[in-house]
Structure 1
Amino acid sequence: MEVFYSLKDRVAIVTGAARGIGAAIAERFLGAGARVVFADRDDAEARKAAHNLDAPGERSLVVPVDITRLNETQAMVKQVTDKFGTIDILINNAGIAGPNKPLVDVSEEEWDVVTAINLKGVFLCCKAVLPVMLKKRYGRIVNVASIAGKEGNPNLAPYSATKAGVICLTKALAKEVCTQGIYVNCITPAVIDTPILRQVTQQQIDYMTSRIPMGRVGKPEEVAALIHFLASDDCSFTTGACIDISGGRATY
């Protein structure tokens, strides 16, 4: 019997895998047969998550990484290929909400920090992983953007701008590599119940939730389910797509 969305023996890097959406993705991928790299700057939490999901450590690898530095993303790739031999899937999930304030009050340093993690980090992870995928002419890359990147959220200008950048980076890269067996897509979640939600005010959460017709926030497992398809061989004619998971907030 054919198994749909199988990830058997695929090697997947998940950034921001220590908690939230990243941990849910890692759990889903391990359940689908993948070997999973828990890539996170929080080494202790990443190791805890990996141990909880794969105690023997036979199908997981924890890599502490600062995704804003090319030498660290390249070192991550070497560690992964040294252990597993290849890389099939890259999930660029790591990100921060950044400052909750009007743009006029955002400092240059605050802007740079959000840009470095949310946008430059995606670029550097792709840049480091792509040579492996191009050589084997196979790869699945999924970038986690946000509905804020399509609509813009007030008092979250740096976050909104960087997520818009992730959407366009996805589309540009997808067109560059689609004839080489590598498909690149992004998802745009609305409010999801994760630790990053604690970085914004309750007023901001209420504002975002009020715009969701389903009347609730999303669950990390729901996001992981969508990413699972995009990371699988069953995703064979979809690339450069920006797919909403927003409880009906976005219908375009």
Structure 2
Amino acid sequence: MNGLTDTVTLITGAGSGIGRATAKRFAREGAAVVVADIDSDAGETTVTQVEAAGGTATFVKVDVATPAESKAAVETAVDTYGGLDFAVNNAATGTTPVPTPQITETDWDRTTAVNQKGVWAGLKHEIPALLESGGGAIVNVSSVAGIRGSPGRSPYSASKHGVIGLTRTAALEFADDGVRVNAVCPTIVDTPALQTMTEEERAGLIEDVPMGRPAAPEEIANAIVWLCSNEASFITGHTLPIDGGSGVQ
């Protein structure tokens, strides 16, 4: 894809699901990939899969809720590959669905720290590195829960709404500096988290998708990589739903 060969990409939450699929797609397009994840075994597996396919990757352990670790991930990209061209802030967490009054402060704080503060910390350290490289692009992974209500998941929905606010603000701040910032909003995706649900729970989620199935991680990765490519060179501050038609019901 145009503009990705011999570039460097940092992806958080790259140990599985959307993050792993995105790492593999960037590598296939010729980018070196920094695989960041809190799970070392999962992250190293992604690196192995990238390298087995002929790509270049390195792993760094990161808890995005700790800004110093986000900074260290960016430094790893710069020290290992000489700079940073793209970043994908994908790492996220959630809670067991319960009504808003039943959410614990602990669950609220952890979800917000990872999903919202973690994206802010990524932007804080990624943007200066992109500016130093002469520009680039960032994609933040929000959710359809970030553009509409999500009963039972108030911390998750609130944090994902926050990701969109961060995306739009950063996009405006750096639009004239060669740094584009966009967000994707996936619906239910066929990730390991989906497989842990009961068949009844999965069916209930898929019922809301007009296309009648979850998205494949690769389908989200395709959109992320496209937004970073030169083919999307005049797109910034955009929120792209990837929802199988659910947003137009």
TM category, shorter: over 0.9
3-state SS of 1:91 partner: strand
Structure 1 residues 56 and 155, CA gap change in structure 2 (3 angstroms): closer
Structure 1 residues 204 and 104, CA gap change in structure 2 (3 angstroms): farther
1:240 aligns to what?
237
Amino acid aligned to 1:157: S
State which of 37, 46, 52 in structure 2 corresponds to 1:40.
37
TM (norm. structure 2) is 0.94
Alpha-carbon shift at residue 177 of structure 1 (Å): 0.4
Tell me if structure 2 keeps the 8 A contact 1:100–1:155. Answer: yes
Alpha-carbon shift at residue 206 of structure 1 (Å): 3.2
Q: Which has the higher mean CA deviation after the structures are superposed, 130-139 or 179-188? A: 130-139
State which of 147, 156, 168 in structure 2 corresponds to 1:159.
156
Tell me if structure 2 keeps the 8 A contact 1:115–1:162. Answer: yes
Matched, 1:27 2:24: yes
TM (norm. structure 1) is 0.93
2:246 aligns to what?
249
State which of 76, 79, 82 in structure 2 corresponds to 1:79.
76
Alpha-carbon shift at residue 183 of structure 1 (Å): 0.3
Alpha-carbon shift at residue 251 of structure 1 (Å): 3.0
Matches within 5 A, 1:134-153: 134-153=131-150
RMSD over aligned Cα atoms:
1.8
Tell me if structure 2 keeps the 8 A contact 1:5–1:234. Answer: yes
Aligned residues: 249
Amino acid aligned to 1:127: K
Tell me if structure 1 keeps the 8 A contact 2:30–2:55. Answer: no
Alpha-carbon shift at residue 5 of structure 1 (Å): 3.2
State which of 97, 103, 108 in structure 2 corresponds to 1:106.
103
1:130 aligns to what?
127
Q: Percent identity?
A: 39
Runs of at least 5 residues in structure 1 that lack an aligned partner in the other structure: none
Structure 1 runs (4+) greater than 3 angstroms displaced: 55-58, 198-207
Alpha-carbon shift at residue 97 of structure 1 (Å): 2.2
Alpha-carbon shift at residue 178 of structure 1 (Å): 0.6
Amino acid aligned to 1:220: P
Q: Which has the higher mean CA deviation after the structures are superposed, 189-198 or 81-90? A: 189-198
Amino acid aligned to 1:117: V
Tell me if structure 1 keeps the 8 A contact 2:50–2:56. Answer: no
Structure 1 residues 58 and 144, CA gap change in structure 2 (3 angstroms): closer
Alpha-carbon shift at residue 56 of structure 1 (Å): 9.6
